[in-house]
Structure 1
C-alpha cells in the first residue's frame, strides 16, 4: 500500500497549517470540548486541532474544501465513531443538516482571510443553532470584531457581529505557529450568539442597509451618509445627532435609525385614503 504524500499548503485555499503544540493546547483549553457535545470544525487541514477535539469524545463534524486532504483525514480519524467528514465548501454548507438542537452547535475554525468575513455572516444566519464559535483569524479582523464605538476599527463588521454575538478577543498567535508562516499575525476570538438580542431591530435587513450606507463614507457626517435613506429630521427624531460620524454611534443608535427607516417604509407602502 502506497504512503500518503506530504501535503503542501495551497495559496488558493489560503492554507497555513497550525503546528505549534503550545498554541494548539491553548486553543483546545479555550474551547474546552466535552463528551457528547456537538462540534463542527471548518477547515481541519491536517488535523492539528481535530485530534484534540475528537479525543474529547464530543461528536465532531468537519468540513474540508481541499479534496487532497480528505485521504489524510480519513486515515487519521475515519474509523472513530464520533467523527464525521464532509468534503465541500463551508460557504455553501447547510448547517441544519447536522441535526443540532437550539444553541447546541459549537463551531471551530482556522479561517483564511479571504473568506473569514462572508463565512462569519453565513454562520450568523444560523445563530439560533450555535452555542459558540472559536476562530483563528487575521489579528486585524479580530480587532475589528471586538472593537468599541469611537475607534477606527469600529465599523460594519463590528456592529453586525456584535448585534448577534458577544465577542471576546482571547489571545494573539504569531506567524511562527504555522507552516508556512503567514505574513500577518493571527488571533483567537470567541463569538457567543445572544439567546435574546440586547437591541433587536424591527427589520435586521434594514439595519444592515443603514450600517452599510453609514460606513460607505465613514469620514462624513450621518446626515450626509444617510441622506438617501432618511432626512435630518428623521435622524433627530430617534435621538441621534446627525453631525456625528458613523464610528461615534453604538449599536442601539443604529437600531433606532433602522427602526425609523422601517416605520417610514411601512408608511409609504400604505395605500392613501381618498376620504
Structure 2
C-alpha cells in the first residue's frame, strides 16, 4: 500500500514504464539511478534495456520485493534502502556516468531536482516524472504563469523538455492531479559553481517578491544600480526576465560584491 506521507503513487502499466525507459535513452551497460522504485514497475522496464540499475528506496517495506527482483537480474540491479535526499550519488556511481530515471515521490521531487541540478554530482541525464504542475514549472519560459526560480535554475544548467504526459489513472493509487515526464540533459555552457551560486541568490530575491519591480525585490542586492549594470530594466518584474537577464544580474552582483 502506498504511504501518503512519502508521496507515493506507483506506475505499474508496462506500456508507460517502457515508454519512459525509451525516453531516457539508456541501454546496454548504462548506469541508471532510480529513486523511489516502490514495487519495481519502472525498475523492470529499465532492466529490460540492459542497463545497470541502482534503486534507492526509503520505504523498507519494498526491500524484499526489490531484492527478489535483484536476485533474478543476474547482477543488473542493486537495491539501497536509504533516503535519496541524503544519498551520495557520486559515491554510488563510483566515477561512472550515471543517468537518473525516476517516478519521483511527489513530496520530494523539487528538492531532489535542485540537489541534482546544483550539487557536486552531475548526472549524465535525468528523465523524471513529476506532478504536471511541477513539470510545467521546470520547463516554463519567461512570461508564462508557471515561470519562476525553478525554471531559471533548471534551464541554466540543463536542456529541459516536457516529453510525456501521464494521466492520474495510470497510477496506483491514482493521485488527484495528472503527471508529466521531463527530460533534462546537462548544458555544455552550464554556469561554474560561483556563477550558479550567484544566480540562486538573485533568483531567490527576485522571485521572493515576484509582484514587485526588480528595483524593489533586488534592493538588498543593489536594486536599480544592479539592474542598470546588468542591462535589465529596473521596472521589470521577475516573471518577465529571461534566463539571459538573470545570468547578467548574477554577473553584475558578483562584480559588485567582488566575488569574481
TM-score by length of 1: 0.88
Q: Which residue of 2 aligns with 1:179?
A: 172
Matching of residues 105-116 of structure 1 within 5 Å: 105-116=98-109
Query: Is the counterpart of residue 131 in structure 1 residue 127 in structure 2?
Result: no
Distance 2:138 2:105 in 1: 16
Does structure 1 conserve the Cα–Cα contact (< 8 Å) formed by 2:36 and 2:57? yes
Q: Which residue of 1 aligns with 2:218?
A: 226
Q: Which residue of 2 aligns with 1:154?
A: 147
1:118-176: CA deviation from partner (whole Å, max 9, x where unpaired): 11111123476311111110001011111001111110000011111100101110111
Distance 2:85 2:37 in 1: 15
- Pair 1:195–1:16, CA change in 2 (3 A): same
- Pair 1:181–1:231, CA change in 2 (3 A): closer
Does structure 1 conserve the Cα–Cα contact (< 8 Å) formed by 2:10 and 2:172? yes
- Pair 1:253–1:201, CA change in 2 (3 A): farther
| SS of 1:189 mapped into structure 2 | strand
Distance 1:200 1:95 in 2: 20
Does structure 2 conserve the Cα–Cα contact (< 8 Å) formed by 1:175 and 1:183? yes
How far residue 195 of structure 1 moved from its aligned partner, in angstroms, is: 3.0
Q: Which runs of 5+ in 1 are unaligned?
A: 1-7, 268-275
Q: Which residue, out of 255, 258, 262, partners 2:250?
A: 258
How far residue 66 of structure 1 moved from its aligned partner, in angstroms, is: 0.3
Q: Which runs of 5+ in 2 are unaligned?
A: none
Further displaced range: 156-165 or 90-99: 90-99
Distance 1:65 1:128 in 2: 20
Q: Which residue of 2 aligns with 1:59?
A: 52
Matching of residues 18-57 of structure 1 within 5 Å: 18-57=11-50
| SS of 1:210 mapped into structure 2 | helix
TM-score by length of 2: 0.93
1:81-122: CA deviation from partner (whole Å, max 9, x where unpaired): 1111111000000011124547x2110111122111111111
Structure 1 or 2, whichever has the larger Rg, is 1
| SS of 2:220 mapped into structure 1 | coil
Distance 2:83 2:50 in 1: 25
Q: Which residue of 1 aligns with 2:229?
A: 237
Q: Which residue of 1 aligns with 2:7?
A: 14
Further displaced range: 233-242 or 119-128: 119-128
Distance 1:19 1:52 in 2: 10
Does structure 2 conserve the Cα–Cα contact (< 8 Å) formed by 1:42 and 1:109? yes
1:227-271: CA deviation from partner (whole Å, max 9, x where unpaired): 11103133112211001111111111111111111112118xxxx
Q: Which residue, out of 83, 86, 97, partners 2:91?
A: 97
Query: Is the counterpart of residue 205 in structure 1 residue 197 in structure 2?
Result: yes
- Pair 1:178–1:68, CA change in 2 (3 A): same
- Pair 1:231–1:18, CA change in 2 (3 A): closer
How well do the aligned residues superpose, as a CA RMSD in angstroms? 1.7
Aligned length: 258
Further displaced range: 122-131 or 106-115: 122-131
Matching of residues 76-95 of structure 1 within 5 Å: 76-80=69-73, 81-95=75-89
Does structure 2 conserve the Cα–Cα contact (< 8 Å) formed by 1:44 and 1:62? yes
How far residue 29 of structure 1 moved from its aligned partner, in angstroms, is: 2.0
